[in-house]
Chains A and B, each alone.
Chain A
Amino acid sequence: MSQKIILPSTSDDGVYTQSDGYEYTIGPKQSLPNEANAIPTPSRIYSESLIYRKQEVSLSAMAFLFQEMIATIHRASSSAQDFETRLNGYGYGIGTRLVELLNLRNSIPPNYSKSSTFLSNSSSTSVNESHGSSGTGTGTLSSASDHSHHYHENGTESLAAVISNMKPRDLKILDILQFVHGTMWTYLFGCASDDLVKSSERDNEYMIVDNLPVLTQFIPAGRSCDYFTCGIIQGFLDSAEFPCRVSAHSMPQGELDQRTVYLIQFDKHVLERDNLRFGS
């Protein structure tokens, strides 16, 4: 009974052998003698590929959702600072996910997506196919996704299996900032940020500049709502073990009246490590 609850992807729980996951109060479990014959516990998230499908939604849908999120947080907040802290927290979790997701995707050989497109065209079993076509028609979709599910349960969903070398982890402050300013910004907002600058006054301070923040362009006055993006940056850098604080500042320039500067202040030890390891 409880097994059925754990397995959202199946309506038929009779065929699967009972198995429990890791329980940290008990410790590691040993392999079971018959586990090789067991069907892997079905799961929606583990069966779907992490490949980037380049799906889009409208900016208005995103903006409406963002504004309602802001309203929800605003109602719960006792002060402006409390609001910024809470909003930062929403973004933070996203940043911690992106550091893994985007680097993993960047490890995929460039010719991989091409070959998978080819595969899906010829066999129509790939997840790309079923999702890609659903925007325009719905008639044959359910059978296509059944197919792709089966296909994935056989292990073909793995991206790691086609990666010979993982993209190197970024070890230097400048490298990780480049990733945030370039890859992450492009993923989130469609283009690299407008500038990445090192503070001339303090060694541990860097700035990412956005002339027109996508999410807050319709929200007048103040940069409070940009603490969502601050949280994403901070979650990303903290998680990659470049702990820092990130704040948003309004710095209009000419006609760019919404120009926003994200100030990144690294913990001292990050700088010390950088100096020690890379002698910059």
Chain B
Amino acid sequence: MNKRYLDYLDQLEAEAIHIMREVAGQFQKPALLFSGGKDSITLVRLAEKAFRPGKFPFPLVHIDTGHNFPEAIQYRDELAERLGEKLVVRNVEDTIKKQNLSEPTGRYASRNGLQTYTLLETIEEFGFDCCIGGARRDEEKARAKERIFSVRDEFGQWDPKRQRPELWNTYNGRISLGENVRAFPISNWTELDVWNYIKREEISLPNIYFTHERECLIRDGKLMATSDFIYRDPEDEVVTRKVRFRTVGDMTCTAAVESVAYDIDTVIAEIIESKISERGATRIDDKLSETAMEDRKKGGYF
């Protein structure tokens, strides 16, 4: 074997670091969107690799729906503290009051869609010209066609027809006033790549990614964590199961999966065996229509 051989995780890491440094080099006021989920936790590790021993050239920005898992929020605060990096939190609750938005109601009520309003408000407040996000192309078919530098208009809208061709490793971050860019350094990673990287880098994760006993209600065959925020019908069946979360988003739209995986190795084994995709298993928001993600992205979603 060639002595100078770069393993696939090293290649993916090198590409992601290069993209982050292009963001730092091309933009005046970038930000890293941090959700407390494994993909954005991976982004933070990549930012350390890209910029240490210097500081990050951007703050971590969290759009908090107020319906997040407390474990993820605690992890977020501890991480920012440990890294000594700036954390900006903006609350969907405040946007709802300020813009007089109506909260979604009913069985599938979730603030997930309202995050977009708060995100756009935050972009405007700080004048962010580029937001780094942890979206991956393997997640969903609308994301499979997303660029690494994705130009958005002043309403944050994604227009698939206006996408710029992206060649070699040359990213065009030139924008007009009012436009901004979403940059996706781990576009080419799969769910399994992220887990293998977390394992290799020995990154700690919020404990909800591993098996624990939890009270859930069963909705459309999926296990939803009980909380004060989730809509409950009197006839909803409530059960206690050994579960973990495969994605960590808003509690009202992120389902748990039954699992006994207690560490990274057992999680990886479970994903390899899994017959259902990550978003298919865990996201209520994508099930609402066939083009749910495409429509949300056009509306300014990540």
Q: Do A and B come from one complex?
A: no
